[in-house]
Amino acid sequence: MISVARWLYVPINTPAIHNQQLQDIAPLRLSSRVVSLVPPTILDLEHKWKESKKLAKVPRTYGVVYKARDTDTNTIVALKKIRLEAEDEGVPSTAIREISLLKELADDNIVRLLNIVHADQKLYLVFEYLEMDLKRFMEEANREKSPMSPALVKKFTYQLNLGLVYCHSRRILHRDLKPQNLLIDRQNNLKLADFGLARAFGLPMRTYTHEARVVTLWYRAPEVLLGSRHYATGIDMWSVGCIYAEMAMKGQPLFPGDSEIDQIFKIFKILGTPNEECWPGVQTLSDFKTTFPQWSSQPLTSVVTVLDRDAIDLLQDMLTYNPAKRISAKRALIHPYFSDFISVA
């Protein structure tokens, strides 16, 4: 495999991105040296990948994903076609962010970035191709009347935490975990994908600019919903809890809100309205209202009825209101629920 440097020369300074501590990254212009570094066989991408088929349009980010065949190697790949902005703006910051982070990530539970190609005023990220995402996997399992087994739910939850341990140990937040961003291979292994909203973070954590689009609504942590400007790995772990419950409930979302306030109330109706006792500082969050209805918590066993005691205990740890008390991915891997797995974290 040709190195990324040979395919593309982009002035990406990863340490500088880390130092910006989740601040918006200004779009960078491609170097004029790019074209001379692209091998001639790549210049006509429409010919090289002429059998391409659109897989998905990527909303709110920066491109379209295609299934394609590399005619040089006969390999099936996934192409993320980057929509370049006006000439004076260059590559979108979300693309720069994903490229810079994925260059650092090499793990069995994270989709592999194979190459980066720039030609004909287009930028392509070339990824390994996986057959389907978790959302479609659950839908097809239900359609065939063979929903995910408890063992497979456990395996996917374990692999999801393995991928997050790798990311979090490298100070990377995914920030948009949802079934559509988790890919499944032919051997039923799960991999994290779509790092377009991911950010590098530093220690100690700083105050971050609040972004409403961080994490798709159904999987969004309460601290983000309530306007916290200081969030950490707990936002990913809340999403894991929601996905874990959804797998166990045969694809039924745990908190399917249709607006931010509806999302907040759906969480409150199950977990109870948070207060200073269970979540110190919650009343100081900008979007918390003392006039919120006061709901009492329900036992999770009455909501997610298919999980055993250890499984419910792990779910409760993932859906803890106080982010400081929410279980980490590393600790989740040694939870009794996974006692029949050997941790490699």
Same domain, 110 and 156: no
**Same domain for 33 and 174?**
no
Identify whether residues 171 and 66 lie together within a single domain. Answer: no
Residue 201: its pLDDT value, please? 63
What pLDDT, on the 0 to 100 scale, is given for residue 177? 96
Residue 204 lies inside a defined structural domain of this protein: yes
- Cβ(70)–Cβ(49) under 8 Å? yes
Same domain, 310 and 218: yes
Specify the pLDDT at position 194: 85
- What span, in angstroms and rounded, lies between the C-alpha atoms of 131 and 184? 7
Separation CA 135–CA 75 (nearest Å): 25
pLDDT of residue 209: 46
Residue with tokens 């066993």: 301
Instruction: Look up the domain containing 325 and give its range.
Output: 132-338
Q: Which of 216, 131, 143 is nearest to 179 (CA)?
A: 216
What type of residue sits at position 342?
I
Q: Is 102 part of a structural domain of the chain?
A: yes
Query: Of the residues 128, 155, 177, which one is the last residue of a structural domain?
Result: 128
Instruction: Give the domain-ending residue among 78, 99, 128.
Output: 128
pLDDT at 88: 52
Question: Catalytic pick from 24, 44, 120, 176?
Answer: 176
Q: How far is CA 135 from the centre of its chain?
A: 13
Which residue stretches of the chain have pLDDT < 50?
1-47, 50-51, 57-61, 87, 203-210, 212, 343-345
CATH of residue 95's domain is 3.30.200.20
The model's pLDDT over 214-233, given as tens digits with 9 standing for 90+, comes to: 568 999 999 999 999 888 99
Q: Is residue 344 part of a domain?
A: no
Structurally, how many domains does the chain consist of? 2
Q: Any catalytic annotation for residue 176?
A: yes
